[in-house]
Amino acid sequence: MKKIGFIGAYDKTDLIIYIAKILTVLNQKVLVIDATINQKARYVVPVINPTTEYVTEYEDIDIAVGFQNVEGIKRYIGLSEEQELEYDIILIDTDNYIGFEGFKLNEAIKNYFVTSFDAFSLKKGLEIINTIEEPISMTKVLFSREMLKEEDDYLNFLSLGYKVIWNEYRIYFPMENGDLSVIYENQRVAKVKFKKLSIQYKDGLAYITEEILGDSNENRVRRAIKTIEKGV
């Protein structure tokens, strides 16, 4: 079972669900955990009679909302603490240190720091990293209209002295109004559709998915994206 962390104050819900959808098309059993303060998944993922804590299925993805740790999810689905969750991949979304610590993201095989460059997302997201006590490796996932080197330099400057080891490469997503329109439409109809997403956005999804799988076969992931585009 692979545990992957997505850390930061920037809204990551749709991004993570889209990655999870690609993984399910590739025959992976996926659990998405919303460990954020606002719990956006509670509002954009359809569920009948939601409780404080629940697990629901959406687009062949299991989504857990309201839990503080994995043990709580185990109790909810009737497992003992000794039993393992039966998932190939768990994607954890958090915007706070309680979520980071509760789900032990220091033990994740991969952590992504997701941010745009508005002051709130950037500085609030870095607050989480500033509370981490042991050195940790993270990959930057940057939402930017211009994709300027100066933006990345600014992030590096703000994180000086923090116990984060930035991976050398960065993953960029465009801040395109067209992509936002697709995301909002998907939320309204409660479906995951890729057809109208920009090429750059789909490239970012493919890159992260390949990393999670440890898959050098880029064509396999691209075919999965094509399958989702066709609505198959």
pLDDT confidence of residue 192: 94
pLDDT digits (tens, 9 = 90+) for 36-63: 999 999 999 999 888 999 999 999 999 9
pLDDT at residue 216, rounded to an integer: 67
Instruction: Answer whether residue 217 shows pLDDT above 90.
Output: no
Residue pair 45/5 in contact (Cβ under 8 Å)? The answer is no
Dihedral angle of Cα 205, 14, 133, 160, to the nearest 10 degrees = 70
β-partners of residue 92 are 5, 33
Residue 110 contacts residue 4 (beta carbons within 8 Å): yes
